[in-house]
């Protein structure tokens, strides 16, 4: 079984930055596509960013392009989300996830089989 533990969330003023981390344990998933999702109150969970197992392919939802950067360190089996120029509309619970199948690349939440517990990100205006 895979456990994912997120860290780095918090409260910042609009325009500020946060860096989320998600470390995997239980078994290695360094050869799996990983992603970050978020869910705001009253809204459906949405993909924020995804990164292929080798890090060469990434995806960003339009609303975060140019502000957020996803990266990974396979030696540490950890994925990161650097969030700059945060806006109040970025406020949500952020979840990291690992795809069900090794290798490949996907941005569909239906293709992710392992989820972290979530970390709150709040950008105040």
Q: How far apart are CA 58 and CA 80, in angstroms?
A: 12
Banded pLDDT at 22 (limits 50, 70, 90):
very high
Report the pLDDT averaged over residues 90-114: 96
Q: What pLDDT shows up at residue 90?
A: 98
Element at 99 (helix H, strand E) = strand 92-102
Q: What residues form DSSP beta bridges with 3?
A: 25
Give 51-97 pLDDT, tens digit per residue: 999 999 999 999 999 999 999 999 999 999 999 999 999 999 999 99
Residue 77 CB neighbour total at 10 angstroms: 22
As separate numbers, helices (DSSP H) first and strands (DSSP E) second, the chain gives: 0, 11
Mean pLDDT score, 33-40:
98
Three-state secondary-structure class, residue 64 = helix
Query: Which contacts qualify for 53-57: CB closer than 8 Å, 24 or more apart?
Result: 53/102, 53/103, 53/104, 53/105, 57/105
CA distance linking residue 29 with residue 7, whole number of Å: 18
Contact (CB, 8 A) for 26 and 2: yes
Instruction: Give the span between the Cα atoms of 10 and 122, in whole angstroms.
Output: 6
């Amino acid at each position: 079984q895979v456990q994912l533990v997120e860290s780095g969330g918090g409260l910042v003023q609009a325009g500020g930055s946060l860096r989320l981390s998600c470390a995997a344990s239980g078994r290695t998933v360094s050869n799996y596509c990983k992603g970050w999702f978020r869910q705001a109150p009253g809204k459906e969970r949405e993909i924020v960013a995804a990164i292929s197992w080798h890090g060469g392919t990434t995806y960003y939802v339009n609303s975060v392009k140019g502000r957020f950067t996803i990266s990974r360190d396979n030696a540490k089996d950890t994925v990161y989300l650097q969030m700059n120029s945060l806006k109040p509309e970025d406020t949500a619970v952020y979840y990291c996830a690992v795809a069900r199948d090794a290798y490949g690349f996907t941005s569909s939440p239906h293709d992710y089989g392992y989820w972290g517990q979530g970390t709150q990100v709040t950008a105040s205006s």
